[in-house]
Amino acid sequence: MRVLITGAAGFLGSHLSDRFLAEGHQVVGMDNFITGSPDNIAHLAGQSRFEFIEHNVSRFVDVAGPIDGVLHFASPASPIDYLKFPIQTLKVGSLGTHNLLGVAKAKGARFLLASTSEVYGDPLVHPQPESYWGNVNPVGPRGVYDEAKRFAEAITMAYHRYHGLPTRIVRIFNTYGPRMRAEDGRVVSNFIVQALRGQALTIYGDGGQTRSFCYVTDLIDGIYRLFSSDRSDPTNLGNPNEFTVRQLAELVRTKIPGAGPVVAEPLPVDDPKVRRPDISVARQVLGWEPEVQLDAGLDQTIVHFRRVLGQ
């Protein structure tokens, strides 16, 4: 196959490009580097089956030649990023998704949307199954990301139902691993970078809010399986093992000598109190189960950040 991957220079997009190339496919990567980095795809520069187009997908998208798949991963995805780029986040979720659905329709290609667990908002159902409609504040600060992805899901399903386009929607829960940015504001990277710098580890509120952490190789395997499947309804992918934020902080402190103490700051607006995927569908339909546990995944991620920080 020849596939178009948007957000290809980002954390997930670059790993996804690696996976499709490893499976023998051709990849057209697209990114405007608003949050992605050329470093993430530098190793692909000499790869004959990889080509790159620098472009903002919120503007008209045109790709020469046949395309068999479109995988839309372009979007700011961490709270720091989407609060810094709120309009761009809304545009890439709406205009960008519309443009790329148009490419898939014109090329007769399969379309996969990278959605998020944030569509569930601050959930009143726990764990979160795909059937849960969510508890989202559309006008809160986080609404720019939550509603961009909810709209993206809606228009993807509209193209599926109205045009008969083969579509896939993955709802991605917290994911971590190499190629994360040091300053992306996500909890795993925050704690590791703070610890490596000998700083205090910052939690928000009492740190009792829970998260589930999926290592990047597990997630990419699930996405590849979903793309190859016949499932059009949204599908959760994430690690169902649940930890409090404080537990994560203490685990990072045990792995990095010299880390500072854990300190608390006020809880951000609309910060979800719980987050854990129900992955029954992924297990049954995709035969998928995350394999890398948090302890081992953190070790690999710490190695990555030591390299980033020159340690």
CB of 253 closer than 8 Å to CB of 217: no
As given in the structure block, the two tokens for residue 26 are 């051709």
CB of 158 closer than 8 Å to CB of 230: no
CB of 7 closer than 8 Å to CB of 31: yes
Using the CB atoms, write b or e for 40-78: b if 16+ within 10 Å.
bbeebeeeeebebbebbbbeebebeeebebbbbbbbbbb
Please, what sign has the CA dihedral across residues 247, 217, 148, 8? positive
- Measured between alpha carbons, how far is 283 from 277 in angstroms, rounded to an integer? 12
- Measured between alpha carbons, how far is 132 from 120 in angstroms, rounded to an integer? 7
- Measured between alpha carbons, how far is 244 from 294 in angstroms, rounded to an integer? 13
Note every long-range contact of 299-304, with CB atoms under 8 Å and residues 24 or more positions apart, other chains counting.
299/255, 300/177, 300/178, 300/215, 301/176, 301/177, 301/178, 301/180, 301/188, 301/189, 301/192, 302/192, 302/196, 302/255, 302/256, 303/178, 304/177, 304/178, 304/179, 304/180
- Measured between alpha carbons, how far is 224 from 226 in angstroms, rounded to an integer? 5
Catalytic residues: 145
